[in-house]
Amino acid sequence: MSFGDPNNPYGAPQGQQPGYPPQQPPQQPGYGYPQGQPQQPGYGYPQGAPAGQPAYPGFPGGNAMPMEMPGLMKTARVLLFIMSGLQLLIGIVAGIAVGAAQDISNGVGSGGNTNALAGLGFLVAALMVALGALSIFLGVKFKSGGSGIRVTTIVYASLMILGGLVNTVNGGGGSGTFGGLISLAIAGIILGSMVNSQASAWFNRPRY
């Protein structure tokens, strides 16, 4: 039985039974859809990092989350703002009181005798206002300041503790003693917040 001329281009190929569709050769790797091709780096997870492992943050221009201010720093910052309000209030009230007393003294003709005392009172009032401004400055710079702000706050809180001790001892149980105790409590908390490891980590944190 003959299946046609083997040299006929329109006939069935050799080895192929007539009436059946031609058999396709097996697909070789690398042609068509890739079989078992490994995932190329650069898509999905970073190159060299296994699945589930996050990328390393902290490089310039990266998407690293900023460090959050520790709770002790937030407490010290709030206390600085509270102290600044008290200092500004005391300074303004003291300045008004000294000015009013000097006006009365001038009215009765003894202003020359109280000029020195009035000058000292105005100096104390101006000092309180300046300390209040410094407290606000330090509190604001807590968010972005470095180790210099920390050192300044430590020195400032130490001086406030010293002043609170003087007022407590010389207050005689009156308003001076009460004010000295408040100053001691606030300045002591601020100083304690500045001399621990959290303060060191916060003020020495890297900034990009």
Residue 71 exposure: Cα atoms within 13 Å on the Cβ side? 0
* 138, 153 Cβ separation under 8 angstroms: yes
Mark out the alpha helices in the chain (DSSP H runs).
71-107, 111-141, 147-170, 175-194, 197-203
Asked, for residue 150, whether it belongs to a domain, the answer is yes
Asked, for residue 39, whether it belongs to a domain, the answer is no
The pTM (predicted TM-score) of the whole model is 0.64
Asked, for residue 23, whether it belongs to a domain, the answer is no
Q: What per-residue confidence (pLDDT) applies to 27?
A: 53
Asked, for residue 48, whether it belongs to a domain, the answer is no
* 196, 166 Cβ separation under 8 angstroms: no
Report the alpha-carbon angle 59-64-65, nearest 5: 150
Q: What per-residue confidence (pLDDT) applies to 68?
A: 85
Phi-psi region of 52 (alpha: psi -120 to 50; beta: other; left: phi over 0): left
Asked, for residue 43, whether it belongs to a domain, the answer is no
Q: What per-residue confidence (pLDDT) applies to 43?
A: 46
Domain count, the chain: 1
Instruction: Give the pLDDT confidence of 37-94 residue by residue, as tens digits.
Output: 555 544 444 454 444 444 444 444 445 566 788 899 999 999 999 999 999 999 999 9
- Cβ-in-10-Å burial (0-12, 13-18, 19+) of 106 comes to middle
Residues whose CB is less than 8 angstroms from the CB of residue 60 and which lie 6 or more positions away in sequence, other chains included:
208
DSSP string, 88-108: HHHHHHHHHHHHHHHHHHHHT
Distance, first Cα to last Cα, the chain:
87
Asked, for residue 65, whether it belongs to a domain, the answer is no
Neighbours of 65 (CB within 10 A): 7
Q: What per-residue confidence (pLDDT) applies to 10?
A: 54
| Coarse DSSP helix, strand, coil percentages of the chain, rounded to the nearest 5 percent | 55, 0, 45
- Cβ-in-10-Å burial (0-12, 13-18, 19+) of 206 comes to exposed
Asked, for residue 47, whether it belongs to a domain, the answer is no
Asked, for residue 125, whether it belongs to a domain, the answer is yes
Largest CA-CA distance found in the chain, in angstroms, rounded: 149
Q: What per-residue confidence (pLDDT) applies to 152?
A: 95
For residue 135, what are the domain limits? 71-203
Q: What per-residue confidence (pLDDT) applies to 205?
A: 87
Instruction: Give the pLDDT confidence of 102-154 residue by residue, as tens digits.
Output: 888 877 776 677 778 888 989 999 999 999 999 999 999 998 888 999 999 99
